[in-house]
Amino acid sequence: MKKSARKPGSWLGWPWKRSAKAATEADPATPAPAGERHLALAQDSLRRLLDDPGLPVGVREALAPEFAEVERMLQKLEQGEIHIAVLGEVSVGKSSLLNALLGEARFATSALHGETRETAEARWQETRSGQVCLLDTPGINEVGGEARERMAREVAERADLVLFVVDGDLNASEQAALEQALAPGRPVVLVLNKADRYTAEERAQLLARLAERTRGRLPPEQVVAAAADPAPARRIVLGPDGSEREERTVLPPDVEALRERLWQILEREGDTLSALTAGLFAGEVSERVGRRVVELRREAAGRLVRQYCIAKGVAVAINPVPAADLLAAAAIDAGMVFHLSRLYGLPLSRAEAGSLVTVIATQMTVLMGTVWLTHLISAALKAGTAGLSTVFTAGAQGAVAYYGTYLIGRVAEEYFARGKSWGAGGPKAVVQEILESVDRDSVLAQARADLAGRLRARA
């Protein structure tokens, strides 16, 4: 086998990584190679994730495992590592295949199914390999091995290149797992292992069938045959006395075609492979961070809205002056919206918060005027009896006030969650959506419970 000549600065040299910035500084007139630019962009994405000053309190702690993995991914890029993971069903010879590539038995093998129970790693000790690591994974179809299967898939998702190993035509389980491995655009080499079990004609037919099943998803040259642990060759030997005896000859592994295919991919795309994996991973973590930020904001907004609901309900319940009720209600609702805007990082002035409350309340009055009518009737009842009916109306009016503030808070929260936008349907559509999603009876029950507790505490 003729070995490729090393190119200065390529991934085969040592050190084989240079950042795009370093390359440009060395020769400002010469742009960095595409792979190095991709790598620098991926590193920058990961650093931005780690150093983002805008993350709300609690997000980094809640996603500690993900951020630790970001750290490991960044170290992997900076150290110039390429990770190749093997994936496949139990007993297709994944560990044997990696041992054959390594030239030594580094990964455990056994005649029993499911020998590999956790991820194992070894550096590929070849002069051409640079910082290439081979990762062994558990089988993806072991009975009772759901956790190990999940581990195998997660390792494959973090790898720069996947060796998907089969020992025959694809079954339904393998087809589904292969589609999943191919989905993000990560390079995959489909390896027909135990190829020595087939005749040359059968082997050619199987490779053609596998290439056909992956047509459009996998280049035909990335469907490769191998024999990691060939069955011993047997022959009958005649002795001098005419007796016969059987001799068994141990055959060496046949992984040369696979080895060459891997070198071609790595020499051509080494930097880009690392950048692609890091980019995919950064995107996944960004999505998780985004979802967690939304969850935390929703949780904090829920607590904030409830606090204002109680404050407004109590204020309305204990104040016998109708005009003061209305003024207190408006001030409390505006204060709630003012604080919600800051929670979502979209601050409003207090005047703007008051205007937003007016918009929401107007739409609520159009859609559910009877609730507000009840509020006004109760207020009028207080005035007409010089406050003597307060003891009878306060609890009910306070619960209605609580409910109104709850709805205003939910609508305002949706407005901020959409980036200070009502969307195509305008405020009426958002108010209608919230009204349909809220269980009024449960909110009123919660209001009565919250207010009863606060009013008893003040008695």
State the Cα–Cα distance between residues 251 and 364, nearest whole angstrom: 81
Instruction: Give the Cα separation of 122 and 136 in Å (integer).
Output: 9
Q: Is the pLDDT of residue 46 over 70?
A: yes
Task: Give 192's pLDDT tier (boundaries 50, 70, 90).
Answer: very high
Q: What pLDDT is attached to residue 109?
A: 63
Does residue 99 surpass a pLDDT of 80?
A: yes
**What pLDDT was estimated at residue 327?**
64
Category of 26 on φ-ψ map: left (φ > 0), alpha (ψ -120 to 50) or beta: alpha
Lowest-pLDDT range, 68-77, 330-339, 417-426? 68-77
Tell me which residue of 268, 202, 197, 247 sits closest to 226, measured CA to CA. 197
pLDDT higher than 90, residue 210? yes
Q: Render pLDDT for 213-227 as a digit per residue (tens, 0 to 9).
A: 999 889 999 999 999
Region of 380 (left: φ > 0; alpha: ψ -120 to 50; beta: rest) is alpha
Chain center to CA of 327 = 47
- Give CA 246 to chain center in angstroms: 57
Nearest CA to 162 out of 85, 263, 76, 259 is that of: 85
Distances in Å between the Cα of 131 and the Cα atoms of 44, 127, 158, 317 are 21, 10, 16, 72
Where is 237: in which H helix or E strand? Answer: strand 233-238
CB distance 116 to 136 below 8 Å: yes
Considering only residues 213 and 51, tell me which one the structure prediction assigns the higher pLDDT: 213
Q: Name the 3-class secondary structure at 344.
A: coil
Predicted local distance difference test score (pLDDT) of residue 445: 83
189 pLDDT higher than 90 = yes
pLDDT at residue 435, as a whole number: 86
pLDDT of residue 395: 62
Cβ neighbours of residue 309 under 8 Å, at least 6 residues apart? 402, 403, 405, 406, 409, 447, 450
Mean pLDDT value across residues 288-299 = 80
pLDDT of residue 289: 76
Which of 21-30, 265-274, 297-306, 392-401 has the highest average model confidence (pLDDT)?
A: 297-306
Question: Above pLDDT 70, what percent of the chain?
Answer: 75
82-88 and 233-238 beta bridge pairing:
unpaired
What pLDDT score does 223 carry?
95
- The mean per-residue pLDDT over the stretch 4-13 comes to 36
Average pLDDT, integer, range 195-218: 93
430-444 mean pLDDT: 87
Residue 337 contacts residue 408 (beta carbons within 8 Å): yes
DSSP assignment of 392-446 equals HHHHHHHHHHHHHHHHHHHHHHHHHHTTS---TTHHHHHHHHHHHHS-HHHHHHH
- pLDDT band of 258, cuts 50, 70, 90: very high
Residue 427 and residue 105: Cα distance in Å, rounded?
Answer: 67
Q: Is the pLDDT of residue 170 over 90?
A: yes
Task: With cut-offs at 50, 70 and 90, classify the pLDDT of residue 5.
Answer: very low
Residue 318 clears pLDDT 90, i.e. is over it? no
Q: Would you state the pLDDT for residue 251?
A: 85
Residues 330-374: tens digit of each pLDDT: 788 999 999 999 988 889 999 999 999 999 988 888 877 655 555
Q: Which of 29-38, 64-73, 169-178, 327-336 has the lowest mean pLDDT?
A: 29-38
Q: What is the pLDDT of residue 391?
A: 43
Percent of the chain with pLDDT over 90: 25
> Residue 12: pLDDT band by 50, 70, 90 thresholds?
very low
Say which range, 7-11, 257-261, 438-442, has the weakest mean pLDDT: 7-11
Top-confidence residue, 5 or 210 = 210
Q: Which tens digits make up the pLDDT trace of 103-155?
A: 888 876 644 444 444 567 777 755 454 578 888 888 887 645 576 677 777 77
Query: Cα-flanking dihedrals φ and ψ of residue 137, to 5°?
Result: -135, 160
Does the predicted TM-score (pTM) go above 0.75?
no
